Structure 1
Amino acid sequence: MTAPHGRGLLHLAAAVDQRGSFDAAAYVGPAQLAERGALDFVTLGDTSGRPGPDALGVLARVASATRRIGLVPTVPDIRPGSREVREAVENLDRISRGRAGWRSGGATAGAGTEGTLETAGTEGGTEGGDEPRRGTEGEDGPGTGGGGTGGAGGRDTSYRVDYRGGTFSVTGPPTGPPPPQGHPVRVVDATGSSVRRTAARYADVALLRVTGPAQARALRAELRDAAAESGRAPDTLRVLGTLTVDLGDGERAAEPGHGGGGPRHTPRGPLYRGGPVGLAELITLWHESEAVDGFHLIPAEPHRDLERLVNGTVALLQHRGLFRTFYPGSTLREHLRLARPAGRYAVTR
C-alpha cells in the first residue's frame, strides 16, 4: 500500500515515558497499544543519575510482551573506544529479534554525538565506522574479543562487556550471534545546527523539533544534501518531526496557534494542543508537502493521549491510506523501509 500523491507511507513513533513510574511492567501496556496501531517504534528516555527506570532494562522487559513494535531506549553517550552500552543495545536487538534502536544521550544531542554515532558503527556505505577491520577470517565474530591480540587464536581476552543497568545487565565477553539488524537503528535529535551534519552522515532516523512545515522542509533538505555529500544515499535517512501532543481538548483549539493552526513553540519543544482529528490533518499536511517523513509524538498525558493517538489519529490516517494497517515485516529496519547493513561482525577478506 502506498500513500496518495506518490509519497511513501508515513512513519510514526511515540514516546512511552511516564512520570514517577519505576516498574517495568507499567510500560508493557502502552507499548502494546502502540503496537496495535502498527507504529514503527516507541522511545523511552534515559534517567541516568536521576530516579527513574533504566530504559534498556524496561524495553528488554517490553520485548518479551510484544512482537513487532520497534524499541528505542535513550542510552548514555557511548564513549569513543568503549563497547559496553553498544553491546547492551545489540543484546536488546537479539532479545527482540531485530526490533532495537537507540537514541544517543538525552532529549537533545550534544557535543559527544559524533563520537557516539561513529563508535556505534557505520556499516552500509558510510565512512568512519567501527574499529578498522584487519581482514582476518573470523575476526570480531560472535564469541571473540573483537579480533585483537592476546589469548589463543588471537582472541582478545582483556575485552569484557560490563554494562549494569537498573534491571538489565550484560557482563563478560560478547557471545551469541550477530545482532539481527546488522546494527540497531540509530536515532538522533538533529535540530541543532552543530549536530545536523553528523546526523546526516551516521544516523538512520533524524528528529527535528520544529513548529512549521516550511522550517521542517528546509532542514530535511539540508540533511538529505549533507547525507549525499558524505557518500550515502539520502533515502537511507528518515526525518521525523518531534511534537508533544496534548489531545485533552477535543477538537476545540485551546488558543490561537493550537489545534488546526499547528503547533507552537514552548520551552520544552513544539506543542500541539487540540484533538485527534486536527492532529491527523496536521500530519497529513506536513507529510504531503514533503516537510517530513513522519512524526515522533510525545503524549503530554501518557495514558490518555496515547490512547487517543492510536484510536483516533492513527485510525484516521490508516483510513486515508497514509499509514499501514499491519506490519509487513518483523524488524525495525523493515518498518522504516531501511536495508539491513552489514553487521559489525562482517568479515572483510
Structure 2
Amino acid sequence: MTAPNGRGLLHLAAAIDQEAAYDAGPPVELARLAERGALDFVTLGDTFARPGPDALSVLSRVAPATTRIGLVPTVTTTHTEPFHVQAAVATLDWVSRGRAGWRIDVSTTEGEARLFGRRHAAPAEALWQEAAEVADVAARLWDSWEDDAEIRDEATGRFIDRDKLHYVDFRGTSFSVKGPSIVPRPPQGHPVRVIDATEGHARRVAARHADVALVRAVDAAQARAVRAELRDAAARSGRDPDTLRVLAGLVVDLGDGEHAADRGHGGGGPRPSAQGPLYRGGPVDLAELIADWHGAGAADGFHLTPVEPRRDLERLVNGTVALLQHRGLFRTFYPGSTLREHLGLARPANQYAVAGGAS
C-alpha cells in the first residue's frame, strides 16, 4: 500500500516516558491518547539506572486498557537472561493480543554492572554483539513451538504435540540456551523488534535483526542517507530491505501552540540538542516537516518524543496527526489488530516448521 505521494504508508510512533511515574495511570492515559490518533505504537524507556517500575510490566498493565496501539518497552539484553527476556516479551504479545514490540538496548555503565555483581561493564561493541545473539535466540525460541503445538485433547489427556516442540540448542559467546520456550508461539509469530540505530554498533545489529530502526538526523538528507545504508546492510545480510521500517527520531516541543516553528526548527529541519534533534514550534509546521521528509524518502515514518508528554502528545494528535490525516498521508483508523499489521509487516514463518520439523 502507498500514500497519495507515492511513498509507502507513513508510520508514526510516540514515546510516553515520564519522570518519577510510579503508577500506571499516566502511561495508560498517554497510550489511549496516542491510540485515538491511530499511531502505530508507543515506546516506554527503561534502564537499570532508572528507579521505578520496569517498562515491560507497566505496558502489560496498559495492554488491557487499550485495544489497537502497539506497545514497545525497552528491555536490555545486558545482565539479563535471554530465555526469560524472550518469554516476557512473548507474554506481553499474548496479553495485548498481538501488539507487543521489544526495544532492544544494552547497559554500558559500571554502576549498572555493580547492581548485578556478575561482571564488569563491557565495551559497546561486545555488548551489541551479545544483543545480536539475544535477538537471534529469541526468534528461535519464539519458533520453538509450532503454531498448532497445543492440541488440548481431553480424551487422551494430551496437551501438547511433542513433535511440534523444538530444541534451539543455541550457543553464543556469553550464554547458551537449549529450549524450547515455556510460552507458546506469540500471536505475531515474532513480536516487533525495535533498535535505535543511530550508533554504528547498534546500526549493524538493526540491519540484521530489527523490524523497526530508529535514527536521529537533523535534516532529510542525513536521514535518507542512513535509511539507504540500513537497507543496503539488510540486503547484504540476506534480508529483504522492505521488511525494515526506518523511523526518524525527533524530540518535539509544541508549547508554542499554533505559532510558527522557531528559526532552524521548521522547514530546514530540527535543531541539534543533547536529547537529539529537536523541533520547537506549532503542530502545523511539524506536519509540514513530517510530510516533506516522508515525501523525500528520508524515512518511513517518525518516532516522536514529547518534551512535556501530556501537553505535546495532545497537540500532536489533535493538530499534527489530524492535518496529516486530512491530507490523506496518515490513517484515520487501524485496518488491522496487530502491530505487524500496523507496520505492514508479514507474520514470520516458523523456521522449524519450514525446515520440515527437524528438532
Query: Normalised by the shorter chain, which TM-score bucket?
Result: 0.7 to 0.9
SS at match of 1:92: helix
**Contact 1:46-1:106 at 8 Å conserved across structures:** no
Distance in 2, Cα, partners of 1:85 & 1:44 = 16
Distance change >3 Å, CA 32–CA 110, structure 1 → 2: farther
**Which consecutive residues of structure 2, in runs of 5 or more, have no partner in the other structure?**
109-122, 151-159, 170-176
Match of 1:147 in 2: 167
Distance in 1, Cα, partners of 2:267 & 2:220 = 13
Tell me the CA shift for residue 77 of structure 1. 1.2
Match of 1:332 in 2: 339
Does 1:34 pair with 2:60? no
Does 1:181 pair with 2:188? yes
Match of 2:271 in 1: 264
SS at match of 2:94: helix
Tell me the CA shift for residue 218 of structure 1. 0.6
Deviations 1:251-300 (A, max 9, x none): 43564212344211111111000000010000000000000000000000
Distance change >3 Å, CA 65–CA 139, structure 1 → 2: closer
Deviations 1:295-347 (A, max 9, x none): 00000001000000000000000000000011111100000000101247747
Match of 1:165 in 2: none
Tell me the CA shift for residue 121 of structure 1. 3.3
Distance change >3 Å, CA 228–CA 84, structure 1 → 2: same
Distance change >3 Å, CA 148–CA 179, structure 1 → 2: closer
**Contact 1:10-1:323 at 8 Å conserved across structures:** yes
Distance in 2, Cα, partners of 1:138 & 1:327 = 28
SS at match of 1:74: strand
> When the two structures are superposed, what TM-score results if normalisation uses the length of structure 2?
0.81
Deviations 1:168-210 (A, max 9, x none): xxxxx714x3101111100001111232222111110000011
Distance change >3 Å, CA 110–CA 278, structure 1 → 2: farther
Within-5 A mapping of 1:47-196: 47-77=47-77, 82-105=82-105, 110-111=124-125, 112-121=127-136, 130=140, 147=167, 174-175=182-183, 177-196=184-203
Tell me the CA shift for residue 130 of structure 1. 3.1
Distance change >3 Å, CA 159–CA 203, structure 1 → 2: closer
> When the two structures are superposed, what TM-score results if normalisation uses the length of structure 1?
0.83
**Contact 2:16-2:27 at 8 Å conserved across structures:** yes
SS at match of 2:17: coil
The one-letter code sitting in structure 2 at the alignment partner of 1:280 is A
State, as a whole percentage, how many aligned pairs show the same letter.
64
Deviations 1:151-173 (A, max 9, x none): xxxxxxx9899xxxxxxxxxxx7
Alignment match of 1:204 (pick from 195, 211, 216):
211
Alignment size in residue pairs: 321
**Contact 1:74-1:106 at 8 Å conserved across structures:** no
**Contact 1:328-1:335 at 8 Å conserved across structures:** yes
SS at match of 1:309: helix
Distance in 1, Cα, partners of 2:248 & 2:107 = 14
Tell me the CA shift for residue 6 of structure 1. 1.4
> Cα RMSD between the aligned structures?
3.1
**Contact 1:79-1:115 at 8 Å conserved across structures:** no
Distance in 2, Cα, partners of 1:195 & 1:105 = 9
Tell me the CA shift for residue 139 of structure 1. 12
Distance change >3 Å, CA 254–CA 224, structure 1 → 2: closer
Deviations 1:216-250 (A, max 9, x none): 01111111111111111110000000000000012
Does 1:11 pair with 2:11? yes
Tell me the CA shift for residue 53 of structure 1. 2.6
Distance change >3 Å, CA 48–CA 122, structure 1 → 2: closer
Tell me the CA shift for residue 78 of structure 1. 5.8
Within-5 A mapping of 1:191-340: 191-253=198-260, 255-340=262-347
Tell me the CA shift for residue 146 of structure 1. 5.5
Distance in 2, Cα, partners of 1:254 & 1:228 = 38
**Contact 1:139-1:146 at 8 Å conserved across structures:** no
